[in-house]
Amino acid sequence: MRPKLSYTHGTGTTALLGDTIGANLDRAVTVWPDREALVDVPSGRRWTYSQFAADVDELAYALLASGVAKGDRVGIWAVNCAEWVLVQYATARIGAIMVNINPAYRTHEVEYVLNQAGISLLFASLQHKTSDYRTMVEDVRGRCPQLREVVYIGDPSWQAMLRRGAGQREDLRVRSGELSCDDPINIQYTSGTTGFPKGATLSHHNILNNGYFVGELIAYTEQDRVCIPVPFYHCFGMVMGNLAATSHGACMVIPAPSFDPKATLEAVQQERCTALYGVPTMFIAELNLPDFTSYDLSTLRTGIMAGSPCPVEVMKRVVAEMHMAEVSICYGMTETSPVSLQTRIDDDLEHRTATVGRVLPHLEVKIVDPVDGVTVPRGTAGELCTRGYSVMLGYWNEPEKTAEAVDTGRWMHTGDLAVMREDGYVEIVGRIKDMIIRGGENIYPREVEEFLYSHPKIRDVQVVGVPHEKYGEEVLACVIPLEGADPITLEELRAFCEGRLAHYKVPSRLQILDSFPMTVSGKVRKVELRQKYQA
């Protein structure tokens, strides 16, 4: 009997949305005009759906008056704030392409993005932590010939822009009528580990539907209030957060400009949030607050954990102590808007920790041999590929790189190694580039990490391969110890693994750390760990 192949497609009774983002927001305003749409906790500002739409339109009028045409690129280089959300929906209203710029970027990276995307108008924060955005913009502005205007959030330039919009109402109606759901609406730069980042170009159809179906699978309604501590510049914040909320009449809650575990739990408590988002390291930070038990999190029902696999012990605590019995795990990438796979709210603990779920409605996934591209049998590791409405239009102005990532069958090649189970659920076993090859044996870091999480002295762990003269690579465990625990030694770690892990998977090196190098979106930068400790 022929083995079952690692291919599956998502079916569903709910049709894809054919709206633009603006039309979808209009529908929400019509149905839920007086429900809260947005709460910016740091500033204390609140918007109902009707108020939010009015402010989105006011900014859209101003953009039209500023000469922003359909397809023009409008950049936003800012931390999480209400204005970020207004820019997201106002640019969609007029068919401009919003370009998300990582708030952690410095002048060299910003200059590249401004020129590569051809940004003509830039919205920017004034400052955050060590970043003085105005100084950095002035430093690069002379080398960015297409950049004609910069508007700073919290500065008189913001109000000056809004004043231009008077009398543009008819122009907005005309512009809205010219838009298609397949128009490009967003460029998100993927954080490449080598060379410059690539601008994944996404349409209304891509991101609106992805946000909508992610929200559907965790049963969002207008009663939900979604705490969003993940960055808006990333799909996790602006798609799975904002668009999932507004397509269901739910409320977006901004706890802080950037992730702060205390501010996050305070916002959940104050705003009676029903959903909370984060990567596992964020949930770990919240659970490890000294006063964690003092927060009332009883209103929480669901939420999304994504970005990296969730340790079993962390998931147990999120469900039991944070009341998130219906928490969902999502897997995706910027180029797929982002989510391809998601656990369901009634999945058991094992599926929520050992897998990243099953395919979303209206999408396809398959796992192929990385060498010849042939679909492998279920239970066999290979490269995960996905196809459907969520696949990006392409990398902005980079057709050759687009062709490397999206094949002629419109399959997006993720670069992730995965295994599809018999039930269609998928396990991520590593990045093709992260896989450790020791003496000819393939080692998937996730498997070793999951085992080491069960050590009583370990709070967090990342496993990477580093060069070894004899074996090619050896296994390095980078460990953050539990607070108050005695120091863990390599001998102790190896003894813990003895007889429970294959000998070649047992770490031969140990590095004790206070924290891991992270991207702004909360992913651990394994490439940095490899580079730092390769000697």
What pLDDT sits at residue 105? 87
What pLDDT sits at residue 194? 44
With cut-offs at 50, 70 and 90, classify the pLDDT of residue 195: low
Give the pLDDT confidence of 116-140 residue by residue, as tens digits.
Answer: 999 999 999 999 888 899 999 999 9
Provide CATH code, domain 439-533. 3.30.300.30
Sequence-distant (6+) residues with CB within 8 A of 510 are: 476, 477, 479, 488, 489, 490, 493
For the chain, percent of residues with pLDDT exceeding 90 = 83
What pLDDT sits at residue 429? 84
Residue 512 pLDDT greater than 80, yes or no: yes
- Global pTM exceeds 0.85: yes
Identity of the amino acid at 47: W
Residue 531 pLDDT greater than 80, yes or no: yes
- For the segment 155-180, the average pLDDT, to the nearest whole number, is 93
CA 171 to centroid of chain Cα atoms? 34
- 173 neighbors 191 (Cβ within 8 angstroms): no
Provide CATH code, domain 21-393+404-420. 3.40.50.12780
The two structure tokens encoding residue 509: 């090196």
What pLDDT sits at residue 95? 98
Give the pLDDT confidence of 26-62 residue by residue, as tens digits.
Answer: 999 999 999 999 999 999 999 999 999 999 999 999 9
- For the segment 446-470, the average pLDDT, to the nearest whole number, is 92
SS3 of residue 176 by DSSP: helix
With cut-offs at 50, 70 and 90, classify the pLDDT of residue 68: very high
| For the chain, domain boundaries | 21-393+404-420, 439-533
Instruction: Classify strands 7-9 and 363-368 as parallel, antiparallel or unpaired.
Output: antiparallel
What pLDDT sits at residue 371? 80
What pLDDT sits at residue 193? 42
Q: What is the 3-state secondary structure (H, E, C) of 36-79?
A: EEEEECCCCEEEEHHHHHHHHHHHHHHHHHCCCCCCCEEEEECC
- Share the mean pLDDT of the chain: 94
What pLDDT sits at residue 520? 65
Higher pLDDT, residue 261 or 3: 261
Residue 385 pLDDT greater than 50, yes or no: yes
Helix-helix angle 445-452:490-497, to 10 degrees? 100
With cut-offs at 50, 70 and 90, classify the pLDDT of residue 307: confident
- For the segment 257-283, the average pLDDT, to the nearest whole number, is 96
- 481 neighbors 487 (Cβ within 8 angstroms): yes
Write down the residue that tokens 């041999």 correspond to.
369
Sequence-distant (6+) residues with CB within 8 A of 23 are: 176
CA 313 to centroid of chain Cα atoms? 23
Sequence-distant (6+) residues with CB within 8 A of 158 are: 83, 151, 152
Give the pLDDT confidence of 201-225 residue by residue, as tens digits.
Answer: 999 999 999 999 999 999 999 999 9
For the chain, give the number of residues: 535
- For the segment 340-349, the average pLDDT, to the nearest whole number, is 96
515 CB neighbour count, 10 Å cutoff: 10
The stretches of 322-381 forming alpha helices (DSSP H) are 349-354
